[in-house]
Chain A
Amino acid sequence: MPFEPVLLANINKPESYTLRVYEAGGGYQGLRKVLKEKTPAEFIELVKSSNLRGRGGAGFPTGLKWSFLPKDHPGPVYMCINADESEPGTFNNRILMELDPHQVIEGIILSCYATKAVTAYLYIRVEYPTCYQRLQQAIDECYAAGLLGKNIAGSDFSLDIYLHRGAAAYICGEETGLIESLEGKRAWPRIKPPFPAVEGVFRKPTVVNNIETVCCVTQIAARGVEWFKSIGVPSDPNNPRDPGSYGPKLYCLSGHVNKPGCYEAPLGITCRQLIDEYGGGIWKGRKAKAAIPGGISMGLFTAAEFDTPLDFAGPGKVGCLGLGTAAVVVLDETVSMVDFLHNSCRFFAHESCGQCTPCREGTHWSLTMLERIKAGKGRLKDLDLLLEIGDTIGIIPGTTICGLSDGAAWPIKNAIRKFRPEFEEYIKRTNPTGYMVTEAVNALPVVALH
């Protein structure tokens, strides 16, 4: 399927990160037009009508999020841009920030114009030094060119953008964790309500948007809603609440494929198309075993589920959590699912912020169980216990504050439910004498001597 890249249109130009190259390609024209022709309310309506959904993972309609800001608030209203891209397998924000920072900034200015925010904070993880430099460079260029600061492009609208480097904890990518971290606190997600739109950064109304989302806003401003809605999967006519999956999407393809990379494709492309048409097929002539549909927290596709469309509704139909960040990681037939799950559990046990008991202890417990299994001491009952943990932690059952543990739960649930024979075979093979044991071993903990 030939698709002319839009979000990534500039990245192959030399010095694509400079204002000169960006403006030569028609950059900032959309912004100037919107500032001249549209009021903020009209622009919010425009974005609403485009059905743009947030690209950060949850897929919440962006225009709707903006319209949740309280009307007639004395202000200030803040905009937070989430560039703490830490979902394993995801690197699309990095490409955008490194190679097309002006597209990002234009989107931020547009989003701030719509939400009447006068200050934007761009929360960027510390592992992205090049992104940081290029963005800072681009922001400086914009200030010099009158595109940031007072009276942007001759309009009444003023905006300052600040880059904030986070120390890169996974939890800082969670909306309210990011806000806490930005305020200089420990990144423990806040309880909601109040939602950030009512009380966010410094207790003021705040919108948190993803880098790719604001880039889509740039393109909507430049190319219009009709163009945006001509791409992707239309909403389900039988479900009036389905906002559809419109627009281009950056898919981060990695793992065991011939040509890993960040590819732009219309939403709704299937996993198989992505792997075969963009990724050049599975490497070394092997067969695929599974794929992560959108970052590790979204669960797993089996090879048989590769025809699932990668839109906001697709992965959910085969038992995954959702599209997430559309970071597809392909696992070939040689990968042990035990290893995969161990790695996943290790990540979430390490990254759990430790606020809610079920997540703090559940992720840790599942990791130790996987370690036991890998050490050849696994028992079949461990799988049921793992599934029980997976089913009980997260905001979906309601046992935690944020979605981190849903992300921890889904790989466990998907891997064990979809590949159970492999786990059982592994346990029986590595622990032939003890795999049937049902009571806890070392049941009594060692009493610490004080």
Chain B
Amino acid sequence: MPKVIVDGIEVELAAGERINGIQAAQRAGVEIPHYCWHAGLTVVASCRMCLVEAGTRNPDTGDVMMVPKLVPACQTPATPNTVFITNSEKVANARAMVEEDLLIDHPIDCPICDKAGECNLQDYHFKYGQDQRRADIRPFTSRKREMGDTVTLFVDRCVMCTRCVRFTREISGTSELFVINRGSHEEIDVFPGYPLENRMSGNVVDLCPVGALGDKDFLYKQRVWFMRKHDGVCTGCSTGCSISVEENQDTVYRLKPRENPHINQWWMCDEGRYGYHHVHSDRRLTDVQRRDGVNWTLIEWSQVVREIDERFRNVGRVAVVLSPHLTVEEAYLLGKYAREVDPQAQVVLGPVPVEGTDETFKNGFTIHAEKAPNRRGVEEVVTHFMGQVATLDNLLISLASGEPTAVWVSGGYKSNWIDTAAADQIASAAACLVVHDTFDSPLTEKATYRLPDGTFAEREGSYVNFSDRLQSVSWAIRPPAGVRVAGSVYWELLGEVGLYKSRRVLDEVAERIVFFAAAAEPVGPLGVDLKTPVLEATPTA
């Protein structure tokens, strides 16, 4: 097995594997600080923070020949028998020099900088910098300016790593950002009249190792050290990007992409990134209500579940609409309940919202037109119960001709998803209509029971994206007072005891439905591919 030696620690390389010094060191548990290098972008080796000593070991004699000068680890391939030394005095001096150089022109305005707390410049300064400032230079100052609708540039904080420039050239392929001026007067800028406006622009903020690029959506909202990160899945479209939901005391402040080589790599689109505001919308449903004639009566959750259950059993015929925003577990539980009450119950897939067409970027990242996270998962659940993918249209036809039916419609949509005509059709045919949704819609107005549902940040369970990759997440925030997330309601409907735990349901799903068989094993942070039931290794990077 070929090996690389980092500070005396041997790291094994897979056959034909091409990694650089930084990645090899990561495997050895050694941090090599870096600014300009990013695994998803080309190597420019310009920040010089990753300077290390390198050499080669003769595999026969064990002698090590070192290169006399420092080399950037990002640019040095970790070929077999390469030796990296990152803890020598020479390397420490080089790092201190680069830190000192970068701080010469830096305003050091950490107290008012959004990046403070997760800033590489800050962290590396404490780890590798010098304790005294020797330069008595007035720092370069330049006023902040807008790069586009989503991003603000704090020019003087920039360390010129050019990650953002490379992102717009290599990933989004839109090339809005570039470098103006020369030498220490260099700045990142856009051409007049050509702002940073592509559907992935928010990524440049994640890429920025310092506080130069600020996300307008997040600017001055929250200090990063107060926030907790939760692994999540973006529910904006069927791509199903892996994300981190960052919240403080049940308020979501931002979504960030989470590295997943199988889906989104390091990126996510702006639509997903900024598509969380509905979580804290004041238009959200929070009251459990029952229609009594023309009036709405407030009732308690403890009462409503039993009441609906009774009414459904009285009606006898049941139909349920499974929204593509439900998790696999929730969809399965609702279908299971329907079939328990009525063995002939109709289990259908709710409307799948589609906007525009798929947009694919230069690096292959795709924003899907299908604006729901779990069509594939719910489809499979529906197929399990119905033998085919039955949709709302099927239900409408059978409702129009059939006997009185109790209908449960699940929602979770971000915006209005049903038109008045369809809503009228369902409402007029249903003997008892339960709508469990996050926002008011033409359907909730006509419902017999109007129940408030949780959003993606409050849900727990699994989503299956367009390429049949299943990802399991747990909830990030607690739902607002009055709201109960679908899963726990169905859990109670089924008369199960204890707290709703999606994993227990997923075990059952994996056992009953062949499609989900691969999910029987624990699902890692990168998810599991349902097409080929092979477990993924945990991420190394």
Contact = CB atoms under 8 A, between A and B. Distances in A.
A165 interface: no
A398 B186 CA distance: 23
Contacts of B181: 354
Contacts of B185: 354
Contacts of A447: 107-109, 112
Contacts of B70: 397-399
B29 interface: no
Interface in A427-448: 440-448
B98 interface: yes
A353 B142 CA distance: 19
Contacts of A169: 182
B221 interface: no
Interface string A386-403: 000000100111111100
Interface string A180-199: 00000010100100000000
B299 interface: no
Chain B, interface residues (CB within 8 Å), range: 35 or more
A247 to B, nearest CB: 30
Interface stretch (B153-161, B191-199, B408-416): B153-161
A191 B71 CA distance: 11
Contacts of A284: none
Contacts of A398: 51, 67, 69-71
Interface stretch (A2-10, A27-35, A327-335, A362-370): A362-370
Given A368-B137, A392-B97, A398-B69, A352 B184 contact: yes
A443 B179 CA distance: 29
B308 interface: no
Nearest to B112: A450
A450 to B, nearest CB: 5
Nearest to A372: B136
A358 B186 contact: no
Contacts, number: 134
A86 B105 CA distance: 28
Interface in A332-371: 349-358, 360-365, 368
Nearest to B98: A357
B45 A353 contact: no
Contacts of A358: 48, 97-98, 101
A350 to B, nearest CB: 7
A355 B136 contact: no
Nearest to B144: A450
Given A401-B45, A442-B138, A448-B141, A353 B69 contact: no
A42 B97 CA distance: 49
Interface residues of A, number: 41
A202 B524 CA distance: 44
A444 B48 CA distance: 25
Given A186-B179, A447-B107, A361 B144 contact: no
B43 interface: yes
A356 B46 contact: yes
Contacts of A357: 46-49, 98, 101-102, 159-160
Interface in B151-172: 154, 156, 159-160
A145 interface: no
Contacts of A95: none
Contact of B156 (A362, A442, A448): A448
A277 B113 CA distance: 64
Nearest to A395: B69
Contacts of B75: 191
B132 interface: yes
Contact of B135 (A349, A353, A365, A397): A365
Contacts of B178: 186
A352 B184 CA distance: 8
Contacts of B71: 398
Contacts of A41: none
Contact of B141 (A400, A444, A446): A446
B28 interface: no
A188 B101 CA distance: 19
A314 B267 CA distance: 55
Given A356-B46, A443-B133, A448-B156, 4 more contacts: A357-B48, A357-B102, A399-B48, A447-B112
Interface of A: 169, 186, 188, 191, 349-358, 360-365, 368, 372, 385, 392, 395-401, 440-448, 450
